[in-house]
Amino acid sequence: MRNLDQFEFKCSTCDEIHKGMPSFGTNAPNYYFSIPKDEISERVFLTTDTCVIDNENFFVRACLEFPVIEYLEKFSFGAWVSLSEENFYKFEELFDKEIREDEPPMFGWFSSWVWPYYEDTENIKSRIHFRNYGIRPYIELEPTNHPLALAQTIGISEKDLYKIYEYYVHG
């Protein structure tokens, strides 16, 4: 069993050896990317952890974590979940709270694409589980046969990580 900071592989895109694991994720929920550029400033409020669109769609950023076969740690991807308005404001209230791991989980719809599992990911029910101050909540996807949900329950291989790494680092 290894740690992710020991991860290294020879990249087939750039031919270099990549070492360690950068943080991966998306900076906004999917919906954001469908909004015309000239409307963004008027319709969107976006921070590193929260996003409100048209004052009626509420999203938060959390960690989607996959077990990696033969690794001790999980691979973490920064993804977005839409919450009800009520839960969104509760999330904001909790944001600066030191101890919050005992807070009940919140229901949300998964709102990101994660290459290469992105088919219909917006239909996946999920819950976010709080962790203490400074650590983003983690996402639990409803255990279905969706490839993304399976990746979360079964785990991914080191080879899957090579591909994800290359995709997000080199585009």
Which residues would be at the binding site for Zn ion (CB under 5 A)? Answer: 11, 13-14
The encoded tokens of residue 12 equal: 């087939």
Of residues 11 and 35, the one with the C-beta less far from Zn ion: 11
- What is the rounded radius of gyration, in angstroms, for the C-alpha atoms of the chain? 17
Q: Which residue is at the shortest CB distance from Zn ion? A: 11
* Least separation in angstroms between CB 166 and Zn ion: 6
Q: How far separated are the first and last CA of the chain, in Å rounded?
A: 29
If we measure between CA atoms, which residue out of 163, 164, 161, 145 comes closest to residue 153? 145
Of residues 97 and 170, the one with the C-beta less far from Zn ion: 170
* Least separation in angstroms between CB 159 and Zn ion: 15
Of residues 11 and 46, the one with the C-beta less far from Zn ion: 11
CA angle (107, 109, 113) in 5-degree steps:
140
* Least separation in angstroms between CB 23 and Zn ion: 17
